[in-house]
Amino acid sequence: MSAPAPETRAARNRRTLLWLQSGGCGGCTLSLICAEAPDFLTAFEAAGIELLWHPALSLETGREALGIIEAVLEGRQRLDILCLEGSVMTGPGGTGRFHLMAGTGEPMMEVIARLAQRAGHVVAVGSCAAWGGITATGDNAAGAIGLAHDGERPGGLLGRDWRDSAGLPVVNIPGCPTHPDWVSETLALLCDGALTREGLDDLGRPRAISGTLVHHGCSRNEYYEYKASAEKLCDVGCMMENLGCKGTQAAGDCNSRAWNGAGSCITGGYPCIACTEPGFEEPGHPFVETPKIAGIPLGLPTDMPKAWFVALASLSKAATPRRLRENATSDRVRVYPEGRGKKP
C-alpha cells in the first residue's frame, strides 16, 4: 500500500499509543532511543503517533499515569496502538502476582488483558512480549509468556484466536533487543493501515523483518561458502560449524541493516543466537557451541535437504583456498586476497 502524503498524515487523527512494560529488561526501549536518521521522536511525529504514556519517557507518574490508563479502560480515551515490552508474568501459579502493577496492587497481566480489548492494534515489542523470551529460561518458574504465544505454542495471554478490530493478530516485533527501525517502521505501517495479514508471517512477525535471514549480508559469507570454520571466539571464520551460530535459520536483517551505526552480532565477533525466534532462550546446548551428531552439525538450514547440504559442504571444504583455511582460525586476516594487480 502506498504511503499517504505528509499532508494527509498531518490532517488525519493522530494515532494514540500506550506503551507498557512488564517482565523484561527495558532494552527494547533503550534500543529505540538509539534510533538514527531519524531519531525515534521524529519517526513517531512523521507517522502521526501521539504517545499517551510511556514508562520511561513520559512526565506523568503515579496517579497521573493511572488516570490515563483508566481513561482508556473506561472508553474516554481512544487507544489505537497498545505496545507491550517484556513478558507477561503469570506466576506464581497463574495468579500474576509476580508483577503487581505499582500503585494498583493488580496483577499486570490483567491490566494488559483489559487494555488489549480496548486497543485498535496490539504490538508485542521484543521476544519477551512475543513469546516469553529470556524470562522464560529454564523451568520458567516466573510463568513468563507472550501476548499470543507461549514459546512456539500459540495461545499466550490473549489466546490463539485473538484478533484486533482490523482482523490482525498480535503483531510480534521479535528480537532481544528489537532493532529501533523494526519498531518505528512497524508502528508507522500500522498507523497508515498498511499492515495486512499477508504482511505478517505465521508467528505474527512483520515479513519486512522475518522475510530476511540473519545470514543475508553476513560479513563472513565467504568462510561459510567454503566451510572455513572458526574454532574459538575471536577467530574470523564462519561460526556455524563450531560456535553455535544460527544465522542461516534466524529471522532478521541484522547483517544488512546496521546496529548502532556499524554493528551486528557477527561483526561483534559472536554467533547469532536466533533471538528473533521463539524458544531461543533454551537452545538445548551451550549458546556458543554447535551440537553435532557424528561430526555433522544439527540445525542446518531448514529449507534444504540435509544430504545435499552435507555433500555441498564436503565439496566446498575440499575446495577451500589456503587463504580462507588459515584466516578462519586466526583472530584477523593474515593471508590477504590477491587482487587483479598481482596477475601477470
Partner 1 sequence: MSRLIVGPFNRVEGDLEVRLEICDGQVARAEVVSPLYRGFENMLRGKDVRDALVIAPRICGICSVSQSVAAARAIAAAQGLVPAPNGQLVSNIVHAAENLADHLTHFYLFFMPDFCRPAHAGRPWFAEVGARFAAGSGEGAREMLAPRAQFLHVVGLLAGKWPHTLTLQPGGAARVAAAHEIRQLLGILAGFRRYLERTLLGGALEAFAALDSEAALLAWAEARPSADLSLFLAASRDVGLDRFGRGNDHFLSFGAYPGAGGHLFAAGRVNGNGAAALELSAISEDVSHAWLADEGPARHPMDGRTEPDPEMRAGYSWCKAPRLEGAPAEVGALARQVVAGHPLLRSLTRQGGNAEARIVARMVEIALVLPAMERWLGAIRPEDPFIAHGETPDSAKGAGLTEAARGALGHWLRVERGRIANYQIIAPTTWNFSPRDASGTPGPLEQALVGLPVASGEETPVMVQHVVRSFDPCMVCTVH
Residue 289 CB contacts under 8 Å (≥ 6 apart), including other chains: 242, 243, 244
Least gap, CB of 138 to partner 1 (angstroms): 4
Nearer to partner 1, 111 or 200 (CB): 111
Least gap, CB of 159 to partner 1 (angstroms): 24
CA dihedral 167, 35, 275, 166 (to 10 degrees): 0
Give the CA angle between residues 67, 68, 69 to the nearest 5°: 90
Secondary structure of residue 153 in the 3-state scheme: strand
Phi-psi region of 182 (alpha: psi -120 to 50; beta: other; left: phi over 0): alpha
Give the CA angle between residues 323, 329, 335 to the nearest 5°: 25
Name the nearest CA neighbour of 69 among 112, 131, 100: 112
Nearer to partner 1, 36 or 152 (CB): 36
What are 154's three cell numbers?
Answer: 500459540
Least gap, CB of 272 to partner 1 (angstroms): 10
Nearer to partner 1, 232 or 306 (CB): 232
Longest dimension (CA), the chain: 80
Least gap, CB of 236 to partner 1 (angstroms): 9
Q: What is the DSSP letter of 291?
A: -
Least gap, CB of 308 to partner 1 (angstroms): 31
Nearer to partner 1, 152 or 231 (CB): 231
Across the strands, what pairs with 171?
Answer: 123
Nearer to partner 1, 40 or 223 (CB): 40
Least gap, CB of 115 to partner 1 (angstroms): 14
Strand order in the sheet with 171-173: 49-53, 15-21, 79-85, 119-125, 171-173
Nearer to partner 1, 287 or 309 (CB): 287
Least gap, CB of 140 to partner 1 (angstroms): 8
End-to-end C-alpha distance for the chain, whole angstroms: 54
Omega of the bond leading into 92 within 30 degrees of 0 (cis): yes
Name the nearest CA neighbour of 50 among 20, 77, 18, 26: 18
Nearer to partner 1, 70 or 166 (CB): 70
Least gap, CB of 1 to partner 1 (angstroms): 29
Nearer to partner 1, 91 or 297 (CB): 91
